[in-house]
Amino acid sequence: MSWTMDEFYASGGVTSFVDRVSAALGIHASQMKVVAVYTGSVVVDFVVESDSQSTDSVDKQLRAITSSINKLIEAGSSEVFGAPVLNAATNGE
């Protein structure tokens, strides 16, 4: 994302990032786990887990979440991520 580490943490850091993204995805914040945050503007490496309470299959849930994340990124939803997204990868792509 296009900002500095200082800006990222001044705007709430990991907690705010998880709150904004999980709300935009319509999932509970506990389903998101931030693995790492590092410079390169700001890179946030995170994973999303399936909802164990859902009646949908894990694959179906994760496909829907991946699709939603991709749509948010393509739309340029900087308010969701906190700053403009410069580059993104889902499932290593």
Is residue 89 in a domain? no
Is residue 73 in a domain? yes
Quote the pLDDT of residue 76. 81
Is residue 90 in a domain? no
25 within 8 A of 68, measured Cβ to Cβ: yes
| DSSP conformation class of 91 | T
The C-alpha angle with vertex 46 and arms to 44 and 50, in degrees rounded to 5, equals 160
Is residue 87 in a domain? no
Close Cβ partners of 31 (under 8 Å, ≥ 6 residues apart): 22, 48, 49, 50, 51
Is residue 92 in a domain? no
Rounded to an integer, what distance in angstroms lies between the CA atom of residue 21 and that of residue 19?
6
Is residue 91 in a domain? no
Is residue 11 in a domain? yes
- pTM to 2 decimals? 0.85
The whole domain housing 53 covers: 5-81
Structural domain count of the chain: 1
pLDDT tens, 18-56?
999 999 999 999 999 999 999 988 999 999 988 887 777
Is residue 51 in a domain? yes
Candidates 87, 78, 91, 93; CA nearest to 44 is 87
pLDDT above 90 (res 90)? no
